[in-house]
Each structure stands twice: as structure tokens, then as C-alpha cells.
Amino acid sequence: MSRFWTDKIASLDPYVPGEQPQDKKYIKLNTNESPYSPSPKALQAMAAEVNESLRLYPDPNCVSLKKSLAQQYQLETNQVFVGNGSDEVLALAFMGYFAAGKPLAFADITYSFYKVYAGLYGIEPKLIPLNDTFDIVARDYQDLDVSGVVVTNPNAPTGKALPLADIEVILQANPDVVVLVDEAYVDFGAQSAVGLVNQYPNLLVVQTMSKSRALAGIRVGYAFGHADLIEGLERLKNSFNSYPIDRIALAGATAAVEDTAYLQEICEKTIATREFTVKALNRLGYELLPSATNFVFATHPSKSAEQIYLSLKEQGILVRYFGNKPRIGEYLRITIGTDKEMQALISALQTL
């Protein structure tokens, strides 16, 4: 607290990322990073970019990256926006499209940053409860008087995916506001709404390089939507920071988007490891929600989530525990690492 803080600063309730402790080397299964290296082609492209050209500003419009993304997802370049991680894309979208005086609809259990952005921009959240099986129910998103809708597909931290038909129900029920579909984990097994962009002018699909493309460290996220929606985001971005993507990130992200074979290879590995992990955890008595992501959401009928979390931490394994959150306090979110890391997790859980 400082006497220089405005009421605005004092009122904020900032996002708390998963812990990144520096005291020892942990097996990190708490922040949904990829256990695999980024594409070797991306690493090469970034290394090549470390040269005298760094004295120059990067391309403020990120044209090379937008072109690659547009080509990959069969859209026009002006239907693509890129930002410094999808968090920045979300921050701009909330500021631009949802701060319109009405509440913003999103699930009661979902990515906790949405509430933080809502607080930052003075948006009132209209929380739509997941049902008893932790599913988003599309018909609950009808007849809302809201400034917009955010749907996370697959949802986090539950890991559950929503069929595309349900996304369409939500889009059709809310034609006069932006429906943002956050697809941070979509490559691990859900249906993307990208193919609906030309059909629904109110659809904004947000994705990231941080998960399936193993590039959390360079901070690149992107959005697909109608050219007018994208232009709105560009206007905001250029009123805030014209160069959010640095030269190295731009080179790495572009090469990563073009290396589709590598994306497929590491996603398949993660999915195979997830399936083996699910079976092993089931055998140990854990109950898991079906996951379409690079993490599982697990609870044990008789063991406390807090005890499991603490004991794993003591054994050098970090998972995400949501102790203070309603409905999910007895659940742990466990990122899918390598086979070896998941074996270590299972061995550690066997000792409990």
C-alpha cells in the first residue's frame, strides 16, 4: 500500500499464477506447460534472429506470423490478431468488447483470470454455474442480458470439452454481443470453433502458443474473428503498445506455426501419456473428469486434496491445488508431463 496508489490500484484483486518456486528443482505439473522442447525449427529461427537487427523495432503488425496463422487456419490475414500471450489478447478483448455496462457471462468454474480482467475494467461477472458433472450447459447461455459471453473450450481447470454444436447454440442465442471462445487447450482433443468464424460475425476465437506448441516462454497468443472485430482489437492494441511481440518471439512463433508435423507429434505424445496417466490414477482410486487437455482434474474419495498436494510437494512434485475455491477445493489439477514424470507422480502417490 502506498499513499500514491489510486483507489483503482487499491481495489484490484490480481491474478495469482501457479507457483514457480526457485528453492529446488521440481517436477512441474502445476502450470500446464509442455514437457517437450519447442519445435527445433522454431528454436533455429529464434537463434538466427539474435543478431544486429535487434537494434530495430519489430514489425508492429506481425505480418509474417499473421500470414502463417491465416494460411494454417484457412482465414484471411485481416481475420487474425496476435498479442503478448493469449492473456494480453483476452485483456484487450475484455476492455474493448465487454466493458459495455452490462454483466459479462462466463462459467462459475473456469480460468480465474476472467474475474481479474472484469475487476480491472469494472465489468460485473454473471457467473453461469457448471452442472453437477462440471459441464457447461449451452441452454443456460440463452436469454441473457449481457455485454458478452466467454466460453472456455475445453474448460480449465475441469478439462472438459464442449461439442461444437453447443458453441453454435451459444453463438446463435447471443447474436448482438461478442462470444469469445478461449481455446487455449483445444489441440489436445476438442473441436475448434475457428471454422465458424466466417459464419458468425460475433465470434472471437482465442488460442495460444503456450501449451500445444510448447512456447510459454515467448508469450504469443492470437485471436481469429471477423475482420471488423480484429480491427477493433488492433485499434486498442495500437492505443496501448504498438510492439507487444518482439523480434525473437515473432520469428519463433512463425516457424512454430509452420511446423505442423511437430505440433501433431507432441500433441499425440501428450494424449498418449494422458490416457496412461488416467488409467494409473483410476487404479489408485482417484476419480477424474474426462480430459480433452494437457492436464487432468482429479479427486480422491477419501484422501484430502490438500494433503496430497503437500505430500507431493515434499517429494518434489508440484500440482495445482485450489483450496480456497468453491466446488473444486477437493480437486487437483495435474499437468501431463513426460511418461517418466508421470511415472514419478504415480510412484509418489502410491506411497501416500
Binding site for ligand PMP (CB under 6 A): 85-87, 111, 152, 156, 182, 184, 208, 210, 216, 221
Kindly state the smallest distance separating residue 25's Cβ from ligand PMP, in Å: 22
Kindly state the smallest distance separating residue 318's Cβ from ligand PMP, in Å: 15
Residues 203, 171: contact at Cβ < 8 Å?
A: yes
Kindly state the smallest distance separating residue 21's Cβ from ligand PMP, in Å: 18
* CA–CA distance, 148 with 141 (Å, rounded to integer): 10
Residues 30, 335: contact at Cβ < 8 Å?
A: yes
Kindly state the smallest distance separating residue 132's Cβ from ligand PMP, in Å: 22
Between 72 and 311, name the residue whose CB sits nearer to ligand PMP. 72
Between 221 and 349, name the residue whose CB sits nearer to ligand PMP. 221
Between 175 and 217, name the residue whose CB sits nearer to ligand PMP. 217
Kindly state the smallest distance separating residue 91's Cβ from ligand PMP, in Å: 9
Angle at 134 between CA 268 and CA 348, to 5 degrees: 55
Between 106 and 141, name the residue whose CB sits nearer to ligand PMP. 106
Kindly state the smallest distance separating residue 184's Cβ from ligand PMP, in Å: 4
Between 189 and 221, name the residue whose CB sits nearer to ligand PMP. 221
* CA–CA distance, 156 with 18 (Å, rounded to integer): 13
* CA–CA distance, 271 with 276 (Å, rounded to integer): 9
Kindly state the smallest distance separating residue 147's Cβ from ligand PMP, in Å: 19
Kindly state the smallest distance separating residue 293's Cβ from ligand PMP, in Å: 9
The sign one gets for the Cα dihedral 10, 206, 244, 81 is: negative
Between 237 and 300, name the residue whose CB sits nearer to ligand PMP. 237
Between 245 and 344, name the residue whose CB sits nearer to ligand PMP. 245
Those residues with Cβ within 8 angstroms of residue 262's Cβ, 6 or more apart along the chain or in another chain: 39, 40, 41, 256
Between 267 and 349, name the residue whose CB sits nearer to ligand PMP. 267
Residues 334, 31: contact at Cβ < 8 Å?
A: no
Those residues with Cβ within 8 angstroms of residue 39's Cβ, 6 or more apart along the chain or in another chain: 213, 214, 255, 256, 259, 262, 263
Long-range contacts of 193-199, Cβ-Cβ distance < 8 Å, separation of 24 or more:
193/153, 193/164, 193/167, 194/73, 194/75, 194/224, 195/74, 196/164, 196/167, 196/168, 196/171, 197/75, 197/79, 197/224, 197/225, 197/226, 198/75
Give, as one character, the DSSP assignment of residue 123. P
